[in-house]
Amino acid sequence: MNKKVMDRYMRLPMPCNKVLATYCWIDGSGINMRCKDRILNCTPYSADAAPGWAFDGSSTGQATTANSDTSLKPCAVYKDPFRLEPHVIVLAEVYMGDGSPAKTNHRKFCNDLCEFHKAEEPWFGLEQEYTMLDVDGWGLGWPKGGGFPAVNYEFSYCGVGAKYIAGRDVAEAHTKACLYAGCDFEGTNAEVMFACWEWQIGTTIGIKAADDMWMSRYIMSRVAEDYGVVITYHPKPMGPKHPGVGMHHNFSTKRMRSDGGYAFIEECIKRLEKNHMKHMKNYQHDEQSNRMRLSGKFETAPFDKFSWGIANRKASIRLGRDIKAKGKGFMEDRRPAGDCDPYLVCGLLMDTCLGSAGG
Ligand code: ADP
Ligand code: MN
Ligand code: MN
Ligand code: MN
Ligand code: MN
């Protein structure tokens, strides 16, 4: 599609009482998103102001055909970086006909914990790694016919130059679009594997971190569409010989950030160790592929074995180098796969470290 022609239509002024709203949500796969558009009479500046909606859940793997009406409950509103103001993108949660959250709606679990532990002020910083693929499914800029890029990994991480990286335009466009939308977008860098990149959301209080991560995933799909690039969050997209793709979750609470917080961090690490397998069951889209990633190689700790360490990138949980000197700080959970659901991971971190909502 020719973007120059498209621009003619994008510049058409809209009637002043018409606002385009894209509603987007997590589908039945738990990793892909869907969206549809509607016209509103005024800009909803908050989720409460955006009307609820419904869709055919039987076409998204979320309901049966005989009982297909599935509802969308707005949870966050962003400025639309593709149509510009006053148009919006509405992030929505999915609920079933009987009012229960859909199977892949883990936002309620996470938000209940955020509300319950509000006084603890949970902060999150999420590092989303991802891989750019050509439309044929092979790595962007990787030699056609199954070959590997002729570049050593140590040159691609934060790399510069066409020999070392591919797809910078996508990362750059995505950065601007996320900032325009209102995400707490924090930064981006080229990753160890050729055509693999990372962006960070944070440091953000409560549910907004995971909301912004999902919104920035949606925006990434749209930007990549424009460039004819396919994005995958698969934890081991190019097979066992190449680095994996994760989403490190950095987490702290008021207690951890306050003087003497190190003792509480140690306490939390003990709880995380006890609950290791419970977390591992929920840290990815598909267990087998995260097992491939968490092989003990390429800066990972083995899937089945919990470990922690200071400045250790081969540990399940890493603490920063200065944490002992300062006596406070935050922890980095390195276990979640690139295709995890941050609502689940953030939720479990609060549940294990701070206690269940209501209990
Ligand atoms: P690295 O790649 O070395 O792990 P990044 O800069 O990619 O480092 O990520 C560090 C993350 O830590 C950021 O997402 C940031 O928001 C997060 N972070 C920093 N301080 C805190 C804190 N006190 N609580 C929670 N997260 C934090
Ligand atoms: Mn229809
Ligand atoms: Mn990082
Ligand atoms: Mn990284
Ligand atoms: Mn990290």
H helix intervals, the chain: 3-10, 107-116, 153-156, 168-181, 208-227, 254-257, 261-274, 276-280, 287-293, 323-326, 342-354
Sign for the pseudo-dihedral over CA of 61, 63, 64, 70 = negative
Kindly give the distance from the C-alpha atom of residue 61 to the centroid of ligand 1, in angstroms, as a whole number.
35
Percent of the chain at pLDDT > 90 equals: 87
For a mutational test of ligand 1's pocket, the pick from 126, 185, 203, 204, i.e. the residue with the most ligand atoms closer than 8 A to its C-beta, is: 203
Question: Which residue lies with its CA nearest to atom 18 of ligand 1?
Answer: 125
DSSP 280-332: HTTSSS-HHHHHHH-SS-SS---TT---EEET-TTSSEEE-TTHHHHT---EE
Kindly give the distance from the C-alpha atom of residue 128 to the centroid of ligand 1, in angstroms, as a whole number.
12
Does the predicted TM-score (pTM) go above 0.90? yes
Give the per-residue pLDDT at 252.
98
Q: In angstroms, how far is CA 202 from the centroid of its own chain? A: 11
Q: Compute CA distances 205 → 13, 94, 110, 257, whole Å.
A: 37, 23, 13, 13
pLDDT tens figures, 245-260: 999 999 999 999 999 9
Question: Which residue lies with its CA nearest to atom 1 of ligand 1?
Answer: 127
Q: What is the mean pLDDT of residues 325-354?
A: 97
Nearest bound ligand to the CA of residue 187: 1
Torsion-angle region of 317 (φ positive above 0: left; ψ -120 to 50: alpha; else: beta): beta
Question: Which residue lies with its CA nearest to atom 9 of ligand 1?
Answer: 127
What is d(CA 190, CA 171) in angstroms, rounded to the nearest whole number? 9
Q: Indicate the range of 220-224, 239-243, 262-266, 289-293 predicted with least confidence.
A: 239-243
Kindly give the distance from the C-alpha atom of residue 32 to the centroid of ligand 2, in angstroms, as a whole number.
20
Nearest bound ligand to the CA of residue 185: 1
Atom of ligand 1 nearest to the CA of 257: 23
Instruction: Identify the three-state secondary structure at position 131.
Output: strand
What is d(CA 171, CA 243) in angstroms, rounded to the nearest whole number? 19
Instruction: Identify the three-state secondary structure at position 73.
Output: strand
Q: What is the DSSP letter of 276?
A: H
Cis peptide before 352 (omega within 30 of 0): no
Which among 338, 272, 359 has a CA at the least distance from the CA of 127? 338
Q: What is the mean pLDDT of residues 99-120?
A: 96
Give the per-residue pLDDT at 146.
75
Q: Identify the residues whose C-beta falls under 6 Å from ligand 1.
A: 123-125, 127, 186, 200, 202-203, 248, 250-252, 257, 330, 332
Give the per-residue pLDDT at 147.
76
All residues with CB under 5 Å from ion ligand 5: 127, 248
Question: Which residue lies with its CA nearest to atom 8 of ligand 1?
Answer: 127
Q: What is the mean pLDDT of residues 31-52?
A: 97
Give the per-residue pLDDT at 137.
92
Which among 253, 249, 256 has a CA at the least distance from the CA of 125? 249
Q: Are strands 69-79 and 53-56 parallel, antiparallel or unpaired?
A: antiparallel
Q: Which two tokens mark 187? A: 């930064």
Q: What is the mean pLDDT of residues 292-305?
A: 92
* pLDDT of 14 strictly over 90: yes
Question: What is the chain's mean pLDDT, rounded?
Answer: 95
Kindly give the distance from the C-alpha atom of residue 198 to the centroid of ligand 3, in angstroms, as a whole number.
7
Nearest bound ligand to the CA of residue 191: 4
ipTM at complex level: 0.98
Q: What is the DSSP letter of 146?
A: T
Atom of ligand 1 nearest to the CA of 329: 23
CA atoms within 13 A on the CB side of 64: 2
Question: Which residue lies with its CA nearest to atom 2 of ligand 1?
Answer: 127
User: Is residue 111 very low, low, confident or very high in pLDDT (cuts 50, 70, 90)?
Assistant: very high
Give the per-residue pLDDT at 56.
86
Kindly give the distance from the C-alpha atom of residue 159 to the centroid of ligand 2, in angstroms, as a whole number.
47
Kindly give the distance from the C-alpha atom of residue 186 to the centroid of ligand 3, in angstroms, as a whole number.
10
Give the per-residue pLDDT at 63.
86
DSSP H or E stretch at residue 36? strand 33-40
- Residue 208: CB atoms within 10 A of its CB come to 18
What is d(CA 134, CA 23) in angstroms, rounded to the nearest whole number? 27
Give the per-residue pLDDT at 155.
84
Cis peptide before 86 (omega within 30 of 0): yes
Q: What is the mean pLDDT of residues 134-163?
A: 86
Give the per-residue pLDDT at 165.
94
Cβ atoms of 244 and 206 within 8 Å: the answer is: no
* pLDDT of 149 strictly over 90: no
Q: What is the mean pLDDT of residues 293-308?
A: 92
What is d(CA 219, CA 1) in angstroms, rounded to the nearest whole number? 19
Q: What is the mean pLDDT of residues 168-187?
A: 98
